[in-house]
Structure 1
Amino acid sequence: MKAINVLLVCAGGMSTSILMKKLQQYRDEQGVAGQIQAVGLSAYEDVYQDYDVILMGPQVAYRQGEVEAATGLPVAAIPPLDYAVGDSAHIFKLAENLV
């Protein structure tokens, strides 16, 4: 895997913070470079410039088109099951496929 900077976006940034920790651990285990950050919908416009891809929590997936238009970055909603169980391998694959 090449280095990839992933921005996670959810309603308030809280639930995605838990997922962020799992993804960081997976990234470290796989030896992948890059950063992962979790923010709420109200904050993504302040930081998106530093990222390659935006992954959105299922609870805010309805705003995907808006985020894509505002940032010009590839954006995808994390599938609900992957989000719920924190399936880092699937989520990383989703990010990789977008870049």
Structure 2
Amino acid sequence: MKKIVLLCAAGMSTSMLVNKIRESAEKEGYECQVDAYPIAEATQRCEDADAILLGPQVRFQESKIKKLLPAIPVESIDMQSYGAMDGQKVLLQARKMIGEE
């Protein structure tokens, strides 16, 4: 099972998006664990992640997270997908990062 982690400023603004991603994964029959955490907890929470997605409000920290966790793919969620809470599009982004799409 793949582990997808979303990071944001406090770990709360992404909780709705996490639910949308889980719903999309269930519809597709894709088994994954999706969680959201504050970016301050990245090193504690993400060391076993398969993909790390950053909320738009913390995208400026992308290079820092890539340096802290160099073995894990890290990308920012585009504003449009995030604003629309498009779980399907964000799941597709994560799957591409993992190398499954």
Match of 1:49 among 40, 47, 50: 47
Q: Once superposed, what is the RMSD of the aligned Cα atoms?
A: 1.0
Consecutive aligned runs of 4 or more in structure 1 exceeding 3 Å deviation: none
Match of 2:43, as an amino acid? E
Structure 1: gaps of 5 or more residues: none
TM-score by length of 1: 0.92
Contact 2:2 2:33 survives alignment (8 Å) = yes
Shift of 1:94: 1.0
Give distance in 2, aligned partners of 1:92 and 1:4: 11
Q: Which amino acid aligns with 1:14?
A: M
Identity between Structure 1 and Structure 2 (%): 28
Q: Secondary structure at the match of 2:31?
A: coil
SS, match of residue 46 in structure 2: helix
Match of 1:10 among 8, 11, 14: 8
Question: How far does residue 4 in structure 1 lie from its aligned partner after superposition?
Answer: 2.7
Which residue identity lines up with residue 92 of structure 2 in the other structure? K
Give the TM-score taking structure 2 as reference length. Answer: 0.90
Aligned length: 97
